[in-house]
Amino acid sequence: MKYDLVIKGGKVVFRDEVKSVDIAVKDGKISAIAETIDDEALRIIDAKGQYVMPGMIDTHVHICEPGRTEWEGFVTGTKALAAGGTTCYVDMPLNALPATVDRKSLQIKLNAAKGKNYVDYALYGGLVPGNLEKLEELSEEGVVAYKCFMATCGSELPDDFKNVDDYTLFMGMKKLAELGAVLSIHAENAEMTDRMGQEMMKQGKTSATDYVASRPVFTEVDAVKRALFFAKETGCKLHFVHVSTAEAVEEITKERNKGMDVTLESCPHYFTITTAQFEEIGPVAKCSPPLRDEAAQAKLWEKLIEGKIDMLTSDHSPCPPEMKFSDSNNIFEVWGGITGCQNNVDLMFDEAVLKRNVPVTDFVRMIAYNPAVRFHLPTKGEIAVSKDADLIFVDPNQSYIVQKEELYYRHQHSPYIGRKINCRVTKTFVRGNLVFDLHEGIVGDPKGQLITYHSKAELLTP
């Protein structure tokens, strides 16, 4: 057989155009793209009426294994990713125990991941107080980027992740600039958000709206501006995670236009759930930065439509139900993190492409091409000959209502349960292997592969 797989008749989404063409796959790679491919293949699949796109690369996923596997594990988390049309993800350095902040903890993470991933994966390393001397070894181990928190995070547990102080942030940036690595930042002013939260609680204000009010827009913008200033001083490449406000996007865009190497991501929940809806949905929609009001959300949509949002990520940050549904009715006390990675592609395709006429090529750049470029995944991110055959089918003519029972997460809660979505991911292929089919569910064994990047090695090659 000349090919392992031929996909026929789909609307294939390239970086700059959509064409009805056939795609042939051999040994996990895209080996031919042509108007018609009639050569022999082990398997021929008809994609008529459906979009064929590169799978999503979700660069913001918290798999909590090892240490907190009861929150979310590699098997359950990556089944959800596959079912949602994600073919590769980058795992965050926090929420598992130990946090991934040096060679030893990274190796513990890698061992835990082995043989359990249904999609391909890469790892983040953390920047935390006290690990400046460990950043280089993380690069040697192949992390694709580094992550730090300016907002308060973590727990009292000794191996848990900690947010940076200014010294660590600045010196970390200096070190990472030398390594040529990207630093991703959760940008919120820790002192302001902590103290405003405490003040709210003192006054007995513990509703969803009060929580949002304790983390106002300026607390994000302030942290973004400070990080940008530090980056200007140090020359560090930056990436801002889960940006929730148009004002922060503007600050980042301004610096990029002046030549700074900086990118940003935002998440489906900021585009699809408002503060008022958070109040109705309850704790499962709690995250930080928080969901914004309708006017702020409309402004963020404008930024997406203008092409200012480089990439979309889930910030899948799961937890057991008891951490979301306490008896106290105090929103400040429940876990801040949204379980959502199964509904990135369909939800945002519906909201952006179908409802707001965002070009599907722009959509594909946000979910696949831009993250592949920024996070050093050169075999991924677009449909082109010799790239990995990481492909998904999206049917724009099928709508469905998100049901609890269809979620693959370890714990089936999500703010999207009950929501109608006007398209459907019907197939997901990773390196040419079908891993999800709408009718069969998850197919086969976990064959996801680790992808590494060595920033320093690349710096040394002329």
The minimum distance between CB 99 and Zn ion, in angstroms, equals: 13
Torsion of CA 423, 41, 28, 314, to 10 degrees: 0
Which of 222/315 has CB closer to Zn ion? Answer: 315
Q: Which is nearer to Zn ion, 12 or 96 (CB)?
A: 96
Rounded Cα distance, 185 and 165, in Å: 13
CB 360, min distance to Zn ion, A: 27
58 binds Zn ion per the rule CB under 5 A: no
Asked if 315 touches Zn ion (CB under 5 A), the answer is yes
Q: Which is nearer to Zn ion, 134 or 186 (CB)?
A: 186
Q: Which of the residues 19 through 48 are near Zn ion (CB under 5 A)?
A: none
Binding span for Zn ion by CB under 5 A among 44-52, 129-137, 253-261, 308-316: 308-316
Query: Total residues contacting Zn ion (rule CB under 5 A)?
Result: 1
Give Cβ neighbours of residue 407 (< 8 Å, ≥ 6 apart): 80, 339, 342, 414, 417
- Give me the least distance between CB of 317 and Zn ion, in Å please: 5
Cβ-proximal residues to 191 (8 Å cutoff; 6+ apart), any chain:
none
CA distances from 387 to 284, 304, 372, 391 (A): 37, 27, 11, 11
∠ CA 312-77-29, nearest 5°, is: 70
CA atoms within 13 A of residue 135's CA, in its CB half-sphere: 28
Q: Which residue is nearest to Zn ion (CB)?
A: 315
State in angstroms the smallest separation of the CB of 180 from Zn ion: 24
At 59, is the secondary structure helix, strand, or coil? strand
Backbone angles phi, psi at 42, to 5 degrees: -60, -35
- 93 or 446: CB nearest Zn ion: 93
With CB under 5 A as the contact rule, which of the stretches 22-30, 50-58, 310-318, 349-357 interacts with Zn ion? 310-318
H helix or E strand, kind and range, residue 144: none
Q: Residue 148 Cβ, how far from Zn ion at the closest point, in Å?
A: 12
Give 138 or 148: the residue with its C-beta nearer to Zn ion: 148
CB 30 to Zn ion: min, Å: 31
Verify binding: residue 265, Zn ion, rule CB under 5 A.
Answer: no
**Interacting residue ranges for Zn ion, rule: CB under 5 A:** 315
